[in-house]
Chain A
Amino acid sequence: MTGSFEPVIIGFTCNWCSYRAADLAGTAREKYPPNIRLIRLMCSGRLDPSFVLKALASGADGVLITGCHPGECHYLEQNYKALRRFLLLRRTLTQLGIEPGRVKLVWASAAEGHRLAQEITTMVEEVRALGPLNWAQAANGFGPEPVSAPAAAEGGAA
């Protein structure tokens, strides 16, 4: 499995900078691996940590969070909030045994298509080296089997 392991990385991009950087990378024919699935947010400050947890719990091997450089947030200072959340989230994930390399924060302006492509390439290789996370499989595939409720219990308003 590890020989052909292709990591799945969820990338959260900011509408005003990194999403445009990814767009620029495309128009400039910059190449980066297809392992990343980009999701556009209006701002890195919109990133609820549960998005990252849900991605990992649902089978992603890594998450890349991107936003505007400090001082350049379209909404003044929300990227600082993203930074604080990210640093606290990374500590939380470390306690749960998730390697810090699986969740990264990168600043990329709308002009930095080349840099963003490089960061994505680097991260894909780093996560490939870490191996599959397999969280969804772990959580869903094992343990006591659920059973259904008796008919009497299913008659109520659901």
Chain B
Amino acid sequence: MSANGKPKFAMYWAASCGGCEIAVLNIHEKILDVDANFEIVFWPVAMDTKYKDVEAMPDGAITLTLFNGSIRNTENAEMAHLLRRKSQILVAFGSCACEGCIPGLANLSAPESLFEAVYDSISTENPEGIRPQATWDVPEGELHIPEYYPVLRTLDQIVPVDYYMPGCPPESHQIAAVVDLVIAALQGKAELPPRGSVIGAGSSTVCDECPRARNCKTIKRFERIQLVKHIDPNLCLLEQGIPCNGLATSSGCGALCPRAGAPCIGCYGPAQGVMEYGARLLTAYASVIDANTPEEIERILDTLPDPVGQFYRFSLAKSLLRASKAAWEEEERYAAAHHH
């Protein structure tokens, strides 16, 4: 407890886009409840605090930390360890922290090809071929910048996590409900769910929240939505050949995308009971393909050009394989160079 008696609150971003921060501010006047009930001690995007301020706190001093972003580099890992030590309740907040999200798709490639895409692409002016370096000599001395890990990790792959709050970003009404719950729990009026639980999500699938009609699905080809001339507004998108991930994705968003005519891309993560999100989707997609000969099946699969991107857009870093062979091989070299 701080001098004013309020429990302490922190929010941090690791490898993320900032959308989670906006989603928190997007709870509107509920943010005043956060301020009324918590002392905000660390929130780099909203206030000026330093890492050393956190380091100076006693262990367990922060009651609640919302940690968004995945673990891309040494700084992210350092902050994850530090905030774990200082926090009583550490929440993996948003898809990046929970399952790697879009940054996790980088696990398909070894760093060199990623750097090539970023620093040597045709639209980049970099005549000296400069690449990020962990250390750099300047007249004033040696500079250190965070080092890039070959394999991106989720928060719980490096520190224990108390709760998971999915979504890219989490929906504001879900955040508001979780804020209410934590405040009620601190006042002794409610119980927190068991540690390790997913909070702020539904218990079913996006399909169950989707108003579109569902029938027996049989597909002769997968369609790219931007090339479909007429989309039936009342019929299941997958039945119309448009890849939609609602069947394996946790409810909680209110099926926002399919309601607006866009397929679910799976940002709310696996539905309850789904162990391997991508495998569940793969099974579902394979089941609706209307063909029984290898040649025709392959022809239909040609219309789904990026299976990993379709099935693991948000969850690759948390999947069973987690990264490509190339990325793991680079990780092995990195570990060998750093552990000796």
Binding site for B on A (CB under 8 A): 48-50, 53-54, 56-57, 70, 77, 80-81, 83-85, 87-89, 91-92, 95-98, 133, 135, 138-139, 141-153, 156-158
How many angstroms from the CA of A147 to the CA of B80 in the assembled complex? 10
Is B162 interfacial (CB 8 A cutoff)?
Answer: yes
CA distance A8 to B275 in the complex (A): 24
Which chain B residues (294-328) contact chain A, with CB distance < 8 Å? 294, 297-298, 301, 304, 306-308, 311, 319-326, 328
The one of B149, B162, B320 in contact with A153, judged by C-beta atoms closer than 8 angstroms, is: B162
Q: A53-B319, A53-B320, A88-B301 are in contact. Are A138 and B328 (CB under 8 A)?
A: yes
Residues of chain B with a CB closer than 8 A to A57's CB: 320-322
Question: Are B308 and A92 neighbours in the complex by a CB distance under 8 Å?
Answer: yes
A143–B149 CB distance below 8 A: yes
Task: Flag if A138 contacts B307 (CB, 8 Å).
Answer: no
Residues of B within 8 A of A53 (CB): 276, 279, 319-321
A-side contacts of B158, CB under 8 Å: 143-147
> Are B292 and A70 in contact (CB-based, < 8 A)?
yes
Contacts of B328 in A (CB 8 A): 135, 138-139
Complex Cα–Cα for A153 and B65 (A): 12
Interface of A is mostly: helix
Given contacts A91-B307, A143-B158, contact A156 B286 (CB under 8 A): no
CA distance in complex: A129, B335 (Å) = 27
CB-based contact A84/B157 at 8 Å: no
A96 x B157 contact (CB < 8 A): no
Provide a sorted-by-A list of 30 A–B residue pairs whose CB atoms are within 8 angstroms: A50-B280, A53-B279, A53-B321, A83-B297, A84-B297, A85-B287, A88-B307, A92-B307, A95-B324, A96-B108, A96-B308, A96-B324, A97-B326, A98-B321, A138-B331, A142-B332, A143-B158, A143-B335, A144-B81, A146-B159, A147-B85, A148-B160, A149-B90, A149-B160, A150-B59, A150-B85, A151-B60, A152-B60, A153-B60, A158-B195
- A48, A53, A84, A98: which has the most chain B beta carbons within 10 Å? A84
**A residues in contact with B276, CB < 8 Å:** 49-50, 53-54
